[in-house]
Structures are given as C-alpha cells and as structure tokens.
Chains A and B, each alone.
Chain A
Amino acid sequence: MSETAEATVQEVEVEPKEPLFSSKNKRLLTDPLNDDNPITIQVLGICSALAITVQLKPTFVMSVSVLFVMIGGNLIVSWLRNLIPSRVRIIVQLVIVAALVILVDQVLKAFLYDVSKQLSVFVGLIITNCIIMGRLEAFALGNKPWPSFLDAIGNAAGYAWIMLAVAFAREFFGSGKIWGMQVIPKGDDDIWTFTDLNFYNVNGVQYYADNGFMILPPMALITVGIIIWVQRSKNTKLIEEN
C-alpha cells in the first residue's frame, strides 16, 4: 500500500478479545451522529440534501437506501481489504458501490415505483455521494468487518437524521403536511386557516399560508445551515480557532 493511502486510513486497533460494543466501537456508532456528522461537520454528501428533502417519505427511502449501500459497501470492502490491489482500489470501490446502488434502484422500481419516480436520478447519484466513498477509503479499507459495519450504520444514521430533520421542516412549513398527511387544516380559498398558532394575522383573520420558499432547493441549504449553527453553539468544541 502506498504511503499516502496509509496516511488516510484511520487505524482502529481492535484487540482480539475486545467486546462487540466496546467504548471504541460505540464511538463508531455515536460520533457520526453529532461530533463527526458527515453532513454538518464533514459537509459531505449535501448535494442530495438539497434535492430530495421536500417531503419526508422520499427522504426516508433515500436514507434507507444510503444505509443499505453504506453497510453493503463497507462490509464488502472490509472483507476484501487484504485482497484488493491497492493500485486499482478506488475503481474497485466504485464498482462495488455502483453495483449496490443499481440493485437499490431496481428494487425501488419494482416495489416502490412512485417513490422511485420522485427520487429519479438521485438514487443513481448515491454512487457519487462522498460519504460512501469517503468511508470506504478512510475506514473499511483498514478495518475488520465488525467495526466497519458499525461505522457504516453510524455514518448513514448521521446522514439520515439531518436529512429527516430538514425534510420535516420543509414539508411542514412548505406544504403544511407531515409524511403526506395534512396537519395544518386547509381552509377556504386555498388559505390555511389556523387559529391556535398565530402565523399571520391579516385584518383580524388568522391564517397560515404555505411558505412556498421552503419547497425550493435554497431552503434546504439554509435549513442545513441553521442546523450547523445550532449544533456548534451547543457543542463548542466544534468551533474552529480561526
């Protein structure tokens, strides 16, 4: 293995008798949820965050797809890590990820046709999701299957919860729905009448109007930005010196 490759591999030394959920292994699961979140901290894979977070349901399917590809990719690469010739390792990883993504795409087309139409090209674009290739190259290539499996779940979950949080905000404020269900009652004239939470009050009539801006791509970026802001203000060790 070349020196540069070695430098990028995080070596986690697993003792032979280490318990399955040692503190080290637990950190593999929990770090990506917060301190080392792939989206808010590493800012990887946010392309899809912009595209498919208009509604919760496609976002959920997308997250599950990423989870599947992530686990599959990490496990396979980890199993093969001593066999993969280092000169072609990136291409090998790419082939493995691409194969898994195509599998997901085919399964969605067969069983969840309407969702697969909504996600359209973005399922295919999981291939280019930096989180996946990043974890394969940085972790699975240098670690045993079990830690790699945990790392995959941790990172996919870290990706998923941010995506779902963004999708929740966008669907709720953008269309007054949660998971496709109308939660803000629809009034006459396409105006959402709303009495308890006073969103707008015009001429004594209280109503909530859909915020159309929320369903446009820029709001995904801004929502992610707000999440990053909140996270860093709570977790001060994340703030860089300069």
Chain B
Amino acid sequence: MDKNTNNYTFLFSGILIIVVGATLAFAAESLKPMQKENVRLEKMQNILASVKINVDATEAKATFDQYIVDQVLLNNEGNVVEGSEVGPFDVDVVKQYKTEAVADRFYPLFVFEKGGLRKYIVPMAGKGLWGPIWGYVAFEEDMNTVFGSTFDHKTETPGLGAEIKETWFQDRFIGKTIFNEGGEYMSVEVVKGGVDVSGNNHAVDGISGGTITSKGVGEMMERTLNVYVPYFKGNMQAAL
C-alpha cells in the first residue's frame, strides 16, 4: 500500500487517535477515585495544619476524624444551613468564589477539639496578583483570637507573593483578634511593609514586594469572616 496517499494518512491518523483516546480515557477514569481521594486527604492535611497539626497523608483521615468533632455550614447571611445537598467538607470555596454569585455561596466551619479545648477553623478563598489564593484560619475558643493559619496560592510570584504559604508570614497572624474592645467586628488588616504593628491587634505586616498578594489575604479574611460574625456572636452569647 502506498503510504503517501491522502487516504492512507487519514486512515492511519484516525486509527491512532481512536487507540490513544481510548487508552487515555480508560486510564483517567480508572485512576479518578484515587486522585479524588488524594485531593480530599490534602484538604484534611491543610485544615489540620491551621491548628498546627502536621500529619502525613496516610494518617490524615484518622487524625481528621479524631479531632474535627463538628462541621457546620453557613449561608451568606451567616445562618446555619441544615440538610444541604453537599456537606461542609465538600464545599469547594475556591471554585465557589470564582463561579457562584455572592448570595449563593456557602461557608463551612470546622470545629476542632483536643483536650477539651475547641478551635474554630474557617476556610476562605480570594484573589492574589495572578490567580486564586486560599487558606484556613483557626480561632481560639473565644472565637476572636487567631490561633493559627495556613495560606496557599496557585500562581503567585515565587519569593514575593508566594511567601504567603511560608510559616513566617502565617505566624504573624497568631494572637490577632477580629473583634475590638467594643465587641465590634474588625478584621485583621495586612498593611504595607515596615509599619510597626506590634501593639495593633488588627494588623499584620505585609510582604515586601508582595503587596497585592498580601492585600488579597487581608481582603479575603475581611470578606469571609464578616459572614461568620453573626454565628460567632451568637455562640459567644450562648457561652455567657
């Protein structure tokens, strides 16, 4: 058969594409459950990392089930949503931030308990300079003081904005508060470099050269935590 005819070329290409397409589709479908599980385990690791528990992927599920005693889902007004289709853990805040209108967004809250002390973990998503940023902020039992935080990003500049995923930046949030003396909501602001924020409970120093990403973190916290305020206040009142 003459290999240089158009018919042969089309025939060969056609068969090749079908074989390759079928192989890849089969591989992708059969590996999908394991890949999804990996993403879930990573999410558990990230949630636990915000309360300073670092575990391997292999132990993530057991540890998560042991310490996360409750999961709550809030709507945009800050009211608890009961019996929703997706559980709090399955809400993808990053995707939701991109695709859903503000009124349609859901806000999960993870309650962590160890040694009788509770911590409240809030997932959040926002915008950096180049792409999405996200993170988890854990609050002390008083629902006011930041216990720990973890942030991550997709495409921020290495060495600048990407530093938000480093502990030295995340540790700056520890001990900051989101309610002022009068009990009013006042988020933690990320201020532009070099300002002394040691006496200020509502501000942290940003990253030099990563101003837009730093501001993104501040904006993300301000906007997200605002939704949780009614819930936090309600719980504080109940505790009194």
Contact = CB atoms under 8 A, between A and B. Distances in A.
A106 B28 contact: yes
Interface string B178-198: 000000000000000000000
A113 interface: yes
B20 A99 contact: yes
B4 A85 contact: yes
Where chain A touches its partner, the secondary structure class is helix
B38 A110 contact: yes
Contact of B31 (A83, A109, A114): A109
Contact of A88 (B9, B23, B28, B42): B9
A113 B57 contact: yes
A124 to B, nearest CB: 13
A99 B41 CA distance: 28
B31 A107 contact: yes
Contacts of B28: 106
Given A106-B27, A109-B31, A113-B38, A87 B9 contact: yes
A175 to B, nearest CB: 14
A224 B177 CA distance: 50
B238 interface: no
A111 B35 CA distance: 8
Interface in B1-17: 3-4, 8-9, 12-13, 16-17
Contact of B20 (A95, A107, A109): A95
Nearest to B34: A110
Given A86-B3, A96-B20, A110 B31 contact: yes
Contacts of B27: 102-103, 106-107
Contacts of A110: 31, 34-35, 38
B3 A88 contact: no
Chain B's interface size range is 20 to 34
A83 B3 contact: yes
A17 B1 CA distance: 29
A107 B32 CA distance: 10
Interface in A51-95: 83-88, 91-92, 95
B24 interface: yes
A85 B20 contact: no
Looking at A85, A102, A103, A113, the one whose CB has the most chain B CB atoms below 10 A away is A85
B16 A92 contact: yes
Nearest to A85: B9
Contact of A86 (B4, B17, B20, B57): B4
Interface in A87-136: 87-88, 91-92, 95-96, 99, 102-103, 106-107, 109-111, 113-114
23 contacts: A83-B12, A84-B3, A85-B9, A87-B9, A88-B9, A88-B12, A92-B13, A92-B16, A95-B16, A95-B17, A99-B23, A99-B24, A103-B23, A103-B27, A106-B27, A106-B31, A107-B27, A107-B31, A109-B35, A110-B34, A110-B38, A111-B34, A113-B35
